[in-house]
Structure 1
Amino acid sequence: MTRRPRSHHPMRPAWLCRSCAAPWPCAPAQLHLATEFYGHSIALAFYLAANMQDAVDDLYSLGVRPDLRALHVRFLGWLSLTRRQHRADLG
């Protein structure tokens, strides 16, 4: 019997990856999301922004004051890289 690879989903309320324990979205999660939302970058941005808001709320509920800039980079900062690659495909 072969084992299926574990999905890289967030573990709330800490927002760490359930599979690799890296801050979510970890690199494998980013790759999966970029593939799943290919051609729909605005939808991906909305999805990640909603998750970022959930993370902020969860961290405040834990009594942690989150670093909003770091969360923005973590959840949304990598999106510009996916858009640049897509533009290169068009050229």
Structure 2
Amino acid sequence: MPRSTPDYRATTPRRPHLPLRPLWLCRVCAAPWPCPVARLTLRQEYAHDGIGLSVYLCAVLREAVADLYRLNPHDGPDPAALFTRFVGWARPRRLR
């Protein structure tokens, strides 16, 4: 009779996809933070508080801008791209 091995994925806690500052890359997948997993997690956490999510993301954007410009003051990131990356994805979609 074959020996079955337990599925440790079900019992092993997953590492949260948090930012690695001051680079603002995901600590788990190294994608620009908020990575897709972090975005999904944030949407779930703030499912009933869209305004709270927007306020949180604006605060994080402010910290990221300060960190990223400190790292590269002469050729810093594009402000519009940073807005889209940190805040723009969370805006509610308008129905047409």
Matched, 1:30 2:43: no
Where does structure 2 lack aligned partners over 5 or more consecutive residues?
A: 1-7
* 2:81 aligned residue: 70
* 1:41 aligned residue: 50
SS at match of 2:13: coil
Partners of 1:66 and 1:27 lie apart in 2 by 20
**Cα deviation per residue 1:23-44 (whole Å; 9 max; x = unaligned)?**
0000000000000011100110
Question: Residues 1-91 of structure 1 correspond to what in structure 2 (within 5 A)?
Answer: 2-64=11-73, 65-80=76-91, 83-84=92-93
Partners of 2:29 and 2:86 lie apart in 1 by 17
- Which TM-score applies when normalising by structure 2? 0.79
Runs of 4+ with >3 A deviation: none
| Alignment-mate amino acid for residue 75 of structure 1 | F
Percent identity, aligned pairs only, is 49
**Matched residues, number:** 84
**Cα deviation per residue 1:46-91 (whole Å; 9 max; x = unaligned)?**
10011011000001211241211000000111112xx34xx8xxxx
Aligned-residue Cα RMSD (Å) equals 1.8
User: Larger radius of gyration, structure 1 or 2?
Assistant: 2
Where does structure 1 lack aligned partners over 5 or more consecutive residues?
A: none
Report the structure, 1 or 2, having the larger helix content: 1
CA displacement at 1:3 relative to structure 2: 3.1
Partners of 1:10 and 1:60 lie apart in 2 by 16
